[in-house]
Chain A
Amino acid sequence: MSRRIVIVGATSRIAECCARLWAAQGAEFLLLGRDATRLEQVAADLRVRGGQCETRVFDAGCAPDVEGLVDGAYAWRDAIDLLLIAHGTMPPQERAQQDLGLARQVLEINGVSVCLIAEAFAGRMLARGAGTLAIIGSVAGDRGRQSNYLYGAAKGLVARYAEGLRHRLHGTGVSVVLIKPGPTETPMTVGADIGPVTLAQPEDVAHEIVRGIDAGRRTIYCPAKWRWIMALIRHVPERLFLRWRI
């Protein structure tokens, strides 16, 4: 039977590249995002590639209707095999420092809304004793740093949340996958100043995500080298770290 997949933030480049791989296997999609026209373009492409798609508008900003989202998803299919939460926003940190409204959005969209959506789906999946919750966090959530700590803090919230949810769901048949991409060439980074790192290609990142989910991995660093880079960075003593301009 074909896989039933719900994607929140389905216009995200990383999510779209994952969906293209699933579409080739004949998956069924419910695609959610805030821009109906762009969602339709993504859906058209996935259909040509072998997927079946429906689209719904969903905005993760300002008090999103998470219950409505989950009800809608279960009205679409009575069981969901995979939920991918992919939406995110990363405005320049200096702007968020000066604008608390923007800072709140960064925290809420990347952090709170993600946890609430996962929480609501977790209950439904638990009732059936099956399903996979895949959440895109970020390497930026592994350690706070001056140039991107608001976004990083929200991604850190998601990481700690996923850890706890996985603990709770252990042995129930529902799995929780935390995806931590390194800097990747997508609309999110194409205009951003992310320093002297080479950007990964979203197609490659998507391959690692799809493979990692199929292999039952709990945490997917993509590209894989970021697991070791972040392990090092996390272990730099703060006394030293404070002097780095990163």
Chain B
Amino acid sequence: MLPIAWLQLTREKTRLMTAIAGIAFADVLMFVQVGFQSALYASALGPHNSINGELVLVNSTYQTIFSMKGFSRRQLYRLRAIEGVEDVSPMYIGSADWKNPENGTSRVILAFGIDPVQPTLNLPEVRENLDRLTEIDRVLFDRASRPEYGAIETLFQQNPALEVEVNETRMRVVGFFTLGASFSAEGNFICSDLTFLRIFKNRDPEQIEVGVIHLESGVDIETAKQEIQKFITSDTKILTREEFANMERDYWANSTGIGFIFSLGVFVGFLVGLVIVYQILYSDVSDHLPEYATLKAMGYRDSYLLKVLIQEAIILAILGYLPGLGVSWWLYELTRTSTFLPIYMTVSRALNLLLITIIMCSISGAIAIRKLRDADPADVFN
């Protein structure tokens, strides 16, 4: 059989190129939207995913770590008695004012106060620098924070005794880690619990934001969680690390407009592609109407023409998708090297978008099919 769909598409190079460019554009639009979305989520969930334990205890009102209510740390320590719990450790989280040492402007930053002996955040660079945090008024700075906090790492290389002001208290930067900006926290730093309480002078040391629970090896997480559930009061809740992260994601996705904006972006990309492919297929059918009618008069069935149109749609989908994937890949690389956003091309995302592109082109084809009815062989003789 002659590959009619292919021959027809490739005969008109300009139209084909327009179609490919349009579909590629739509794909890039969608890739960028989903890429940024998941990168921003991954970045916002960095602290959650770095929790050094299987379960966390938080205030029952928890939605986002950016504004957390505390709870009594005695609640946490009581859990040590439960079978299967190896250890527990508290973490303070709060928003502080960070003064840019270069120009003196202040900006809100997210502060994590951890026990340097039992660190609650499992980040390689934090682990290496724990001993430096045992001294008072020492902080580790997130190099993936926005540049508005100052070029801290560069300043540090020039002056290892670099001092900064946090909540009007002088602190020494002693090291760096990479976590990344979240939707509202545009920077992070980590310090010891004692230092944390010196930065937040009016805080009650008894009130902690996160209690991290480390289970003995081999203990089933879900069983342990149910066991702990019986011990805690209603002003706290026990979550697995995953649930802790998912609640934060849901908060940003649903309670704020962020999830909607991204979905809208993907939808717009989809629509753009749909319209472009429809235009191409529709004009292809219109231009070849007498020829299609001739085929019918020769004895080709309607289903044959339908198949040709669907093949065209799928060929267009694949031809447009490939350059779209290439450009998006390159944009991801560019974004990753120029920002700290963890934006990666994954196999599942690439396959998902391929599927979406094929669906997009098939819908266009299905709409364009209506035009095929105009190819009436009774009219070709006139």
Q: Do A and B come from one complex?
A: no
